[in-house]
Structure 1
């Protein structure tokens, strides 16, 4: 049952993610069919989105790095107090 519920949610979300016909006409050529709403007002919008994507990717990479290979190896680190109890 969980498998079918997950499949339903994924399919429902994928249909909602595509733009409708009215929105497709308002978007620039390379964004048609992807986003909803009117097109960007200026080139600053592209810069802001690119900056947000860069920050997000950087934070994801830093998080994965810290999770995969943590650098706390000292015996006096606070995590040792918690783990040794």
Structure 2
């Protein structure tokens, strides 16, 4: 267990450095994405539409999950948690 925790700690410590872009990749990235990741950036307008669509879906999912975790609204008398068995 101690060995596994050590490996995990080393991976978490080194991960951010491995994910940063190298010099060649930074030149191929658009200005807004430079230094974030390896490889080329979005190649056209459709790529940006897909990325922003995914960002919107993730944001909506995050907001709804927080909303239903904070206030689940399970006070209805016919909710399964409120049903009593005789």
TM-score by length of 2: 0.76
Q: Which runs of 4+ in 1 moved over 4 A?
A: 4-7
Query: Offset of 1:10 from its aligned partner?
Result: 2.6
Root-mean-square deviation over aligned CA pairs: 2.3
Q: How many residues align?
A: 82
- TM (norm. structure 1) is 0.77
Aligned residue for 1:37? 39
Structure 2 counterpart SS, 1:55:
helix
Measured at CA, do residues 58 and 16 of structure 1 come closer, stay the same or move farther in structure 2, by a change above 3 Å? same
Structure 1: give runs of 5+ residues left out of the alignment. Answer: none
What SS does the aligned partner of 1:12 have? helix
Q: Which residue of 1 aligns with 2:77?
A: 75
* Equivalent-residue separation in structure 2 for 1:68 and 1:44 (angstroms): 36
